[in-house]
Amino acid sequence: MDMKIALIGFGLVGQSFVKILKNKHEKLLEAYSFDAQLVAVSDILKGSVMDPKGLDLGALLKTVRETGSIEGYPGGVKGLDSLDTIRRSGADVVVEVTWTNLETGEPGLTHIKEALRSGKHVVTSNKGPIALALRELLDFAKNNNVQLRYECTVLSGTPAISLGLEGLAGQDICEIKGIVNGTTNYILTEMEQGGDYSEVLARAQEMGYAEADPSADVDGWDAVGKICILANTLMGSDIKPKDVIREGITGISYEDIMEARKEYKRIKLIAHAWKTEEGVRAKVSPEKIDLSDPLANVNGVTNALTYNTDSLKEITIIGRGAGGAETGSGILSDLLALTRIN
């Protein structure tokens, strides 16, 4: 199947995705008859280029690597902004990988709406729009007879959403529980070795596992966005980030961790959603988890989710939750799903 792709956002994830598309082209053609062409890229910092005949992926990657911009790409139409790129690129699919804003969802929300409105499938790794407006966007997609896929908004390329939607199709998922933020799990894991919170945070920042302003992670906002996405995708709810009870890890001390240890438990920042008679409830907070629970043994930056269903009971998936190659490959799996699904 031929597929024309417009890529909005050309940072780490966008570039990793293009590398995968380039390196796997032959294999994908052979295994899935999947023949993708990148017809446009637009990035607010690096510029934009469009060529309906398909961009040369090697030249594109070389240009950005050498100049930090794509303005020097040989050929194509330059200078379109992201919305014009979406409208004019002639793509079948828009891959939206700009930055996450959990308060407004922008600019991703506008990009996704514009793409769906113009009859293009959307694949995105952008948590903001999906956490804030999933129900609206899915209705939008349905009315325009296109698909919206967003595997990488949770656990990056680890296929947690596909597992819930496709693998567990027909199951009633009554509870979702997991470790969905690598930064906080790294900090909690390191604190076990004897560091206190601020010391370990500083080390995580040095290693690039935590941002200079770590609040989105350590205050639980990132996990809040993800549990909204999971609950609204797999439990039929329409909860918003503001509806989620939230407590971060900044109050956790080494003593708390040792106390839990004595009870054969580990403290983890748990994102949790569960069905009640009044609807779905969700919460992000540090919880003491029994060492016999698979989640207790998920350490460092690794992520994990447990779905509790009517027939299968607990199903756990463990994998990486971040990274360029990981997210790029998750975008690819979403694109392949578009070729498979009616």
Does an H or E element contain 48, and which? strand 47-50
For residue 24, indicate whether it is catalytic: no
- Does position 174 bind a second copy by CB under 8 A? no
Nearer to a second copy, 125 or 329 (CB): 329
Check 46, 120, 177, 226 and give the catalytic one: 226
Among 27, 78, 135, 142, binds a second copy (CB under 8 A): 27
| Type of residue found at 267 | I
Site string (248-287) toward a second copy, x via CB under 8 A: ----------------------------------------
Q: How far apart are CA 299 and CA 320, in angstroms?
A: 11
Give least dist CB 263 to a second copy, A: 17
Give the DSSP letter string of 293-326.
SGGGG--TTEEEEEEEETTTEEEEEEEE---HHH
- Does position 326 bind a second copy by CB under 8 A? yes
Nearer to a second copy, 193 or 292 (CB): 292
Q: Report the Cα–Cα distance between both ends of the chain, in Å, rounded.
A: 13
Among 64, 109, 112, 163, binds a second copy (CB under 8 A): 163
Give least dist CB 164 to a second copy, A: 9
- Does position 178 bind a second copy by CB under 8 A? no
- Does position 138 bind a second copy by CB under 8 A? no
Q: How far apart are CA 279 and CA 307, in angstroms?
A: 17
Among 54, 72, 195, 319, binds a second copy (CB under 8 A): 319
Give least dist CB 169 to a second copy, A: 4
State both tokens at 26: 């032959």
- Does position 297 bind a second copy by CB under 8 A? yes
Task: Give the interface segment with a second copy, choosing from 116-124, 127-135, 183-191, 308-316 (CB under 8 A).
Answer: 308-316
- Does position 135 bind a second copy by CB under 8 A? no
- Among the listed residues 60, 47, 46, 54, the one whose alpha carbon sits nearest the alpha carbon of residue 18: 60
- Does position 20 bind a second copy by CB under 8 A? yes
- Does position 170 bind a second copy by CB under 8 A? yes
Q: Is the peptide bond before 159 cis (omega within 30 degrees of 0)?
A: no
- Does position 189 bind a second copy by CB under 8 A? no
For 34: left if phi > 0, alpha if psi spans -120 to 50, otherwise beta; the answer is: beta
Rounded to 5 degrees, φ, ψ at 217 are -85, -60
Among 171, 205, 250, 285, binds a second copy (CB under 8 A): 171
Do the Cβ atoms of 124 and 112 come closer than 8 Å?
yes
Among 24, 117, 261, 288, binds a second copy (CB under 8 A): 24
Burial class for 170, CB neighbours closer than 10 Å (0-12, 13-18, 19+): exposed
State both tokens at 306: 């447990």
Q: How far apart are CA 147 and CA 211, in angstroms?
A: 33
Rounded to 5 degrees, φ, ψ at 35 are -125, 95
By CB under 8 A, how many residues form the interface with a second copy? Answer: 48
Rounded to 5 degrees, φ, ψ at 307 are -100, 135
Residues near a second copy (CB under 8 A) are: 20, 24, 27-28, 32, 157-159, 162-163, 166-172, 292, 294, 297-299, 309-320, 325-326, 328-330, 332-333, 335-337, 339-342
Active site residues: 226
